[in-house]
Amino acid sequence: MAAGKYTGYNFSNITWSPYGPYFNQARKICTMELFTAKRLKSYEYIRVEELNVLLKHLYESSGKPIALKDHLADVSLNVISRVVLGKKYSNERQNGIEITRHELKEMIDELILLNGVFDIGDSIPWLGFLDLQGNIKRMKAVAKKFDRFLEQVVDEHNARRKGIDNYVAKDMVDVLLLLADDPTLEVRLDRHSVKGFTLDLIAGATETSTLMLEWAFAELVKNPEILDKATEELDRVIGKERWFEEKDIVNLPFIEAIIKETMRLHGAPMLMPRMAREDCKVAAYDILKGTQVLVNTWTIERDPALWENPNEFCPERFLGKSIDVKGNDFELLPFGAGRRMCPGYSNGLKVIQSSLANLLHGFTWKLPGNMSNKELNMEEVFKLANQKKIPLEVVAQPRLAPHLYNM
């Protein structure tokens, strides 16, 4: 869907177009400025603080059914808004606060939905101007809202650093604005590009990790023997006297395997569209230069020629195997590969690893009431990301000593 044309900012137009001069620049900014190992490490305390809020909240709601996705979405949005925008948004409208967390989340949901929607005008271009489904009207409306919000974000950041020599960037918008001041940059970043970049970072990060975690929990409550194996590994490696820390992940191969298996079965169904740069042949098909190419990862990741029992949730298949999720192994591409691979994959992966490990370590998980695991609905809704048709409801009970929840 040509959402970018109407929303003004989108993965496929300003900063990210692989055909425009901004693309190489944007990639360089990601790898050399925004997602360096040092910067990611410096945000660890944010990931820990936000996860702790959730752990505490779950402790207080223990025994009651909760819609897990709503809580996970709060963690993702709070982490990414602190990392990118330098602050998180509350659900209460406070003085001087231009937007509530709920409003921001609604805007992101609308943007993601419109990016993945099937629009008649895309298939029959001469009907496009009629906007039969009303999508274009909705895109223009959400673009206006985002622009108002991002203008305010940029103004606030500029005001904060005004008159300060050698200002040290505190968040990603600061980094982008400092780069925009740099006259030596190969392609100058203007205000519009900073806003586009900022929006891509927020939209790219928010729903992806939430959905992965919701699917992981759905698979685990559906397969209690796998859930038991995961808790056994956590007890053995972490013990019952402390929480998981990011550095522990290298000692938790089964938790890593659960994440890979969740991504294999429930990752994004398609990668970002590509265009063939030259004539080529793929599996005996002639692909002409300029053809738009869609990579169907859903099919690759369930291909029986590559995976034994492809529709079964079986993390064990990854144990002792070197298949990773970083775009090197083409049978598993949850973050894509190559020039358009997800620039935020290491941050996304860290949020997923620590949320999954700590939620499993700190709580037992059950379906509400007398619902059996066989009754759990696992239907998907195909969008830009793969959503669970019926949101997962679960009941959590603490499994560690009470003083550990006193954060």
Please report, in range form, the residues annotated as the binding site for heme: 342
Of 343 and 400, CB closest to ligand HEM = 343
d(CA 95, CA 245): 36
- For residue 292, list its beta bridge partners: 275
CA 47, chain centre distance (Å): 14
What does the angle CA 119 – CA 123 – CA 129 come to, to the nearest 5 degrees? 65
Dihedral (Cα; 231, 236, 240, 244), 10-degree rounding: -70
State yes or no: residue 209 binds ligand HEM (CB under 6 A): yes
d(CA 56, CA 61): 9
d(CA 377, CA 391): 9
Of 154 and 333, CB closest to ligand HEM = 333
Residue 112 Cβ vs ligand HEM, minimum distance, rounded to whole Å: 12
State yes or no: residue 335 binds ligand HEM (CB under 6 A): yes
Considering only residues 65 through 104, tell me which ones interact with ligand HEM, judged by CB under 6 A: 80
Q: Which residues are annotated as a binding site?
A: 342
For residue 275, give the 3-state DSSP assignment.
strand
Please say whether the beta carbons of 386 and 380 come within 8 A: yes
Residue 374 Cβ vs ligand HEM, minimum distance, rounded to whole Å: 28
Residue 124 Cβ vs ligand HEM, minimum distance, rounded to whole Å: 26
Which of 10, 198, 262, 347 touches ligand HEM by CB under 6 A?
Answer: 347
d(CA 142, CA 136): 10
d(CA 263, CA 331): 12
Which of 121, 196, 269, 344 touches ligand HEM by CB under 6 A?
Answer: 344
Residue 340 Cβ vs ligand HEM, minimum distance, rounded to whole Å: 4
For residue 253, give the 3-state DSSP assignment.
helix
Residue 385 Cβ vs ligand HEM, minimum distance, rounded to whole Å: 7
Of 328 and 397, CB closest to ligand HEM = 328
In the block, residue with structure tokens 């959730």: 54
Of 213 and 395, CB closest to ligand HEM = 213
Give the residue nearest to ligand HEM (CB): 336
Of 135 and 347, CB closest to ligand HEM = 347
d(CA 194, CA 174): 10
d(CA 3, CA 11): 9
Considering only residues 2 through 31, tell me which ones interact with ligand HEM, judged by CB under 6 A: 11, 16
Would you give the binding string for ligand HEM spanning residues 264-283, x where CB under 6 A is met?
A: ---xx--xx-----------
Would you give the binding string for ligand HEM spanning residues 125-164, x where CB under 6 A is met?
A: ----------------------------------------
Considering only residues 181 through 200, tell me which ones interact with ligand HEM, judged by CB under 6 A: 200
Exposure letters 279-311 (e unless 16+ CB within 10 A, then b) = eeeeeeeeeeeeeeeebebbebbeeeeebeebe
| Angle between helix 191-222 and 224-237 (nearest 10) | 110
Of 150 and 395, CB closest to ligand HEM = 150
Interacting residues with ligand HEM (CB under 6 A)? 11, 16, 80, 200-201, 204-205, 208-209, 212, 267-268, 271-272, 334-337, 340-345, 347-348, 352
